[in-house]
Amino acid sequence: MAAGDIETFHRNGTWFNRIQGEASTLGPGFNDREDAIAAGRSAATARQVEHSVRTEEGPSDDRNLFGTHPRDLIG
C-alpha cells in the first residue's frame, strides 16, 4: 500500500479511515464495519487511489473487496 492510499481499520471497537502516511483519520469513527468500508471506498475513488481494510490484528484479505481498482478506471 502506497502513501496516499486509503485504509479502513479497526481500533478499540470503532472503525476508521485514514490516508496512508498521515496520523489523523478521515472524518468520524464508525460502529459498523460496512459503513466505514463504504466511506473509505468513496474517499479512495474520489482521490483515485487504492483502498484496503485492516483489523486490529493486521492486514485483512479484504484488500480488493470492490472489484475494479479506481486507478484502473483512469484511461
The set of cell numbers assigned to 2 is 502506497
Question: What pLDDT score does 66 carry?
Answer: 47
pTM for the full model?
A: 0.72
Domain ranges of the chain: 6-57
The DSSP code sequence of 8-21 is EEEETTEEEEEETT
pLDDT tier at 26 (50, 70, 90 boundaries)? very high
Interval 50-66: pLDDT, tens:
999 987 655 555 554 44
